[in-house]
Chain A
Amino acid sequence: MGNGNSKIDSSSSSSSSDPDAEESRIARFKDRVHLRRFLRRRRKGTTNGRGFHSHTKLGSVEDFAGIAILTLIRARMNFKDKWLACVSFGEQTFRTGISDHTKEPAWNSEKKLLLEKDGPHIARISVFETNRISRNNLVGYCEIDLLEFLSQDSDSDTEELELLDPSPPNAVVGKISLSCSVEDPIETEKRFAKRILSIVDYNEDGELSFPEFSDLIDAFGNQVAASKKEELFKAADKNGDGVVTLDELAALLAAQQEKEPLMNCCPVCGEALEVSDKLNNMIHLTLCFDEGTGNQVMTGGFLTDKQAAYGWMFKLSEWAHFSSYDVGLNSGSSASHIVVYDRQKKRLVEEIIDGKIVLSMRAIYQSKVGLTLMDKGVKELLHSISEKQGKRMDSVESAKDIPHFIESFKDQINMNEVKHPLEYFKTFNEFFIRELKPGVRPIAHVECDDVAVCAADCRLMAFKSIDDSLRLWIKGRKFSVQGLLGQDISARAFMDGSLVIFRLAPQDYHRFHFPVSGFIEQIVDIPGCLYTVNPIAVNSKYCNVFTENKRSVSIISSSDFGKVAFVAIGATMVGSITFRKGKGDYVKKGEEFGYFSFGG
């Protein structure tokens, strides 16, 4: 095996019959769990007097997976109120309790978070003033990169961060003190075994008799394991005293999870556990078992900090999931929000759509009546409105709308990335198709043409097959690839291909780029309607926006991906499609292809 023990390979097969190899894999797993602490942390060795965990820092962030304990201690605000704080991390948001009426709220609330190299690591902390009746107001926020924080060489247990006003110019409105430490992986393993053990340790003696052990295996829901309980019990009971202790159970779980996992899914949340990722499984289970036990001071179940701040209304349904909080035909009042996953920040964000727009869109796109009205002249009306809007947005007067537009999307338009200063834009349309500074959108693996890249700043949906896209997203009954590409382009090459949808929102950078390198074989313009391409319409079975809207279809011939159909689809108001490359051009991935602008 050479120096195999020094390597960490979670993808090793567990089906080998070689006992040496088996032992070696178990050893590697244990190394993976245990030796990390020597690689990553320097224990300070003291508790801080508030009963918090001893402060553990990371020595290296490479290949890290573990539990971070984030504690929101207190804040110093500029005025008195009753305060609550939220931590948004990955797909969840947690909130503290509400403080007394004070300028210096103290929460001392902690939350365990799963932290790993490729997972989310930036926590957003938001502080709200609370209201008894109306929704709570966001007063200040800050962001902290937990991996970076934990790897800093600092003597202090706590850090004080400035809270910024969410509105420009983002003045400092207070300060928040927090601490973050890594839970010892051995502690994690022990706590996990203890939690598991406590499920069936009826007489609470810290040991499992065979009947208790038998119940535990049944609780895991693994039929194979259930059929050989006695064998497993004997394997666990190392000293043969007829009971399984905490340590023996921990050893069994570590060894067994390596060979043949006892648990196929989490007994708490039901999530399937990846066979290849034992450490993360243990961490997941530990976090899940901790929920609702009182061990965690912050409450969770929110998707975004906006939700956590809704006040009394949201308390009626604290546990939300985006499937019940989505747009679409049956989503009721929640259709005024779209939840999207920010790939860069690795967390859910909420986009608010104006309530009036939602109501009108639902009335038009999600009912037969609305769409019948569409056929009675509304199509022409949409075209006419879009053309008029295009002319208006090309006028010099439209430039005065730019500051208001930027203010409306203050969190989502970063003027530091824009190539030209605000004064450069003489019309709204010029600003709408603004260029970005060179380098602010680096192209992934720029020299490797076998890596495709995203074609726009957008909200993306990707499906391995057309069938998947129809099952999960595109509900229009008449959708087909041939319909999308139009009569002049054969869809044969794309049958059962993969489909990616790049949806641009008004505030986005509106230029689109090539996802792959190759030659442009042809560009075909297809006239059509200018329905909205909002998910409300895409998710409607009565509406076929992708096959009825005005669009331009380009075929890019690429040596690495074969033919790629690139369909630019116009929408209400934004119906003008301009290309900066043409038929026969050789294009590099990431290069600008064209832009959408206001017009018909």
Chain B
Amino acid sequence: STVICVFEKDSIQIDEDLLANSSRSLETLVRVGTKLGLSTRKVSQTDL
């Protein structure tokens, strides 16, 4: 079984290590509750 999460465009900055592994088609073994990424919305709202 699988869970897929889809985030709106430019709403999340996913952790670099996860993106880097995925870009090499390499799955990363993670545990529930560990960090996935940061919201980018506050930054852009502040900028606005």
Contact = CB atoms under 8 A, between A and B. Distances in A.
Interface of A: 322-323, 326, 338-344, 349, 441-445, 449-466, 468, 472-473, 481, 484-485, 493-504, 509-513, 515, 533, 535, 546, 560-571, 574, 577, 590, 596
A502 B25 contact: no
B20 to A, nearest CB: 10
Interface in B9-48: 9, 11-12, 14-15, 17-19, 21-39, 41-42
Given A493-B8, A569-B3, A590-B32, 13 more contacts: A322-B24, A340-B27, A340-B28, A443-B33, A444-B33, A453-B32, A468-B22, A497-B7, A498-B6, A504-B2, A504-B3, A561-B8, A561-B39
B1 A504 contact: yes
A457 B12 contact: no
Contact of A494 (B2, B8, B25): B8
A563 B8 contact: yes
A450 B42 contact: yes
B24 to A, nearest CB: 7
A546 B38 contact: no
Contact of B3 (A456, A561, A563): A456
Given A473-B22, A513-B32, A535-B27, A451 B5 contact: no
Contacts of B29: 340-344, 349, 458-460
Contacts of A497: 6-9, 11
Contacts of B37: 451-452, 462, 498
A481 B7 CA distance: 11
**7 nearest CB pairs, A to B:** A459-B27, A450-B39, A596-B1, A560-B39, A444-B35, A443-B33, A565-B6
Contacts of A568: 1-3
A441 B27 contact: no
Contacts of A473: 22, 25
Interface of B is mostly: mixed
Contacts of A343: 17-18, 28-30, 34
Interface size class on chain B is 35 or more
Contacts of B41: 450, 560-562
Contact of A458 (B12, B21, B25, B30): B30
A207 to B, nearest CB: 41
A499 B2 CA distance: 13
B5 to A, nearest CB: 5
Contacts of A546: 2, 4
22 contacts: A340-B29, A341-B28, A344-B31, A444-B35, A453-B32, A453-B36, A458-B29, A462-B37, A463-B19, A464-B19, A466-B6, A468-B22, A472-B23, A473-B22, A494-B7, A497-B8, A546-B2, A560-B39, A562-B41, A564-B6, A571-B2, A577-B1
Contact of B32 (A323, A338, A455): A455
A445 B35 contact: yes
B36 to A, nearest CB: 4
Nearest to B34: A454
A341 B21 contact: yes
Nearest to A565: B6
B25 A501 contact: no
Contact of A462 (B19, B24, B38): B19
Nearest to A530: B1
Contact of A441 (B3, B33, B36): B33
A498 B27 contact: no
Nearest to B37: A452
A574 B21 CA distance: 27
A109 to B, nearest CB: 28
Given A444-B34, A454-B33, A339 B26 contact: yes
Contacts of B18: 343, 460, 462
A441 B31 contact: yes
A326 B5 contact: no
A334 B1 CA distance: 23
A454 B36 contact: yes
Given A454-B33, A569-B2, A340 B26 contact: yes
B1 A460 contact: no
B2 to A, nearest CB: 4
A564 B41 CA distance: 13
B14 A454 contact: no
A209 to B, nearest CB: 42
Contacts of A338: 27
B13 to A, nearest CB: 9
Contacts of A466: 6
Contact of A442 (B5, B25, B33, B36): B33
B47 to A, nearest CB: 15
Contacts of B3: 455-456, 458, 501-502, 504, 512, 566-569
B19 to A, nearest CB: 6
Contact of A500 (B5, B9, B42): B5
A571 B32 CA distance: 20
Given A445-B35, A454-B32, A501 B11 contact: no
Contacts of B28: 340-343, 459-462
A427 B17 CA distance: 39
A481 B9 CA distance: 13
Nearest to B43: A450
Given A455-B3, A497-B6, A568-B1, A461 B22 contact: yes
A481 B6 contact: yes
Given A340-B26, A344-B29, A441-B31, A499 B36 contact: no
A561 B2 contact: no
Which of B2, B27, B29, B37 has the largest count of A CB atoms less than 10 A from its CB? B2
Given A451-B38, A515-B36, A568-B1, A460 B27 contact: yes
